[in-house]
Amino acid sequence: MTTVSNLQRVLTKGHFAVTGEIGPPQSADASVITRKAAYLKGNVDAVNITDCQTAVVRMSSISVGKMLIDLGIEPVIQMTCRDRNRIAIQSDLLGAWALGARNLLCLTGDHQSFGNHPTAKNVFDLDSIQLLDMVRRMRDDKVFMCGEEIKGTEPRFFIGAASNPFADPFDFRPLRLAKKVKAGAQFIQTQLIYNVPKFSEFMRRVCDLGLHEKVYILGGVGPIKSAGAARYMATKVPGMDVPAEVVDRMVKTPKERAREEGIQICVEIIQQLREIPGVAGVHVMAIEWEEAVPEILTQAGLLPRPVIPPEITTAEQ
């Protein structure tokens, strides 16, 4: 399999990878992307573009991905199953590849009841595991899901998936990750990690299954802006685990120092994750606070990012 993306090269060369994330605007304003991208350019190996996160209508992930490519930033296109059937997804993937996208993150997607169109008809034709399998077959078998051959250029994505170690049932989470790996996932980005001991236990089970040798696992991290934000994440966001110590720490911090403390907690978590066997990198989710990313990565000692020319890895294979 040809190595095509920068993210893939960084991981295969054994570097501790760093990915960032941009939430596209709820408008057609391209300048929002330029502004957010400036904080991430050169500081991360690739940047995820969310696909109408929390089911709120936003600029399309693929179009923002193309803007990033033009700005010299490698995107990770997020693709959810919520809004498109298998026909639309495959069509979009052909287009994304043609525009230069090389990384794809396959997701189920948040239910539309969370977003700004709760009365929408959802799709969920496929689930994330079936999506992974479809993308892998398009690349490796050069076929559409129906089995018909892709005549011409096939999309050859570096394929990713998400994993939430903190959702229930906990015992099934490593097994579900195994299903994703079997379906074709080459890298995993996890839900935001604040409960490091629980994540360590998850990783222990993942390593026992030998999954860390088959897939690159990037731990999800993100800075907390305020005590209110900590409380909100701890109580209101499904599938999130923010321990009381983290909330307390934010609550006890004077307001004017809150952002600094939030960044400090994030840096500490990154350092702890680096010690956990099987963790191949971090995925920094600082949506609507992209300016915090350079500081987090500087403090965590993850800058500068490695520069690996494409030909080296390709030649090695």
Partner 1 sequence: MIVGEQKPLQEIKDMIAGAEKVLLLGCGTCVTICFAGGEKEVGILASALRLATRLDGKEVDIREATVQRQCEWEYVDEVADQIQEADIVVSLACGIGVQTVAERFPDVWVVPGLNTSFLGQPVEQGVWSERCAACGNCLLMYTGGICPIARCSKSLLNGPCGGSQNGKCEINPEVDCAWQLIYDRLSRLGRLDLITENMPAKDWSTSRDGGPRKIVREDLRI
Site size for partner 1, by CB under 8 A?
Answer: 36
Interface with partner 1, residue 82, by CB under 8 A? yes
Structural tokens at position 178: 């195994």
Q: Catalogue the E-assigned strands of 43-194.
A: 46-49, 75-80, 103-107, 158-163, 187-192
Structural tokens at position 169: 């049932």
Interface with partner 1, residue 111, by CB under 8 A? yes
Instruction: Provide the minimum distance between the beta carbon of 134 and partner 1 in the complex, in angstroms, as a whole number.
Output: 7
Per CB under 8 A, contacts with partner 1 among 132-191 are 133-134, 145, 162-164, 167-169, 172, 175-176, 178-179, 182-183, 191
Instruction: Provide the minimum distance between the beta carbon of 147 and partner 1 in the complex, in angstroms, as a whole number.
Output: 12
* Inter-helix orientation angle 227-236/244-252, to 10°: 160
Interface stretch with partner 1, choices 14-22, 118-126, 149-157, 196-204 (CB under 8 A): 118-126
Interface with partner 1, residue 61, by CB under 8 A? no
Exactly one of 12, 30, 94, 127 binds partner 1 (CB under 8 A); that residue is: 127
Q: Which residues contact 64 (CB under 8 A, 6 or more apart)?
A: 22, 24, 33, 49, 75
Instruction: Provide the minimum distance between the beta carbon of 239 and partner 1 in the complex, in angstroms, as a whole number.
Output: 5
Interface with partner 1, residue 122, by CB under 8 A? yes
Does the bond joining 304 to the residue before it have cis omega, within 30 degrees of 0? yes
- Give me the long-range contacts of 240-243 (CB less than 8 A, separation at least 24): 240/166, 240/191, 240/192, 240/194, 241/166, 241/194, 241/195, 241/198, 242/194, 242/195, 243/194, 243/195
The contact mask relative to partner 1 for 250-289 (x = CB under 8 A, - = no) is ----------------------------------------
Distance linking the first and last C-alpha atoms of the chain: 8
Interface with partner 1, residue 126, by CB under 8 A? yes
Binding site for partner 1 (CB under 8 A): 81-82, 86, 108-111, 113-114, 122, 124-130, 133-134, 145, 162-164, 167-169, 172, 175-176, 178-179, 182-183, 191, 238-239
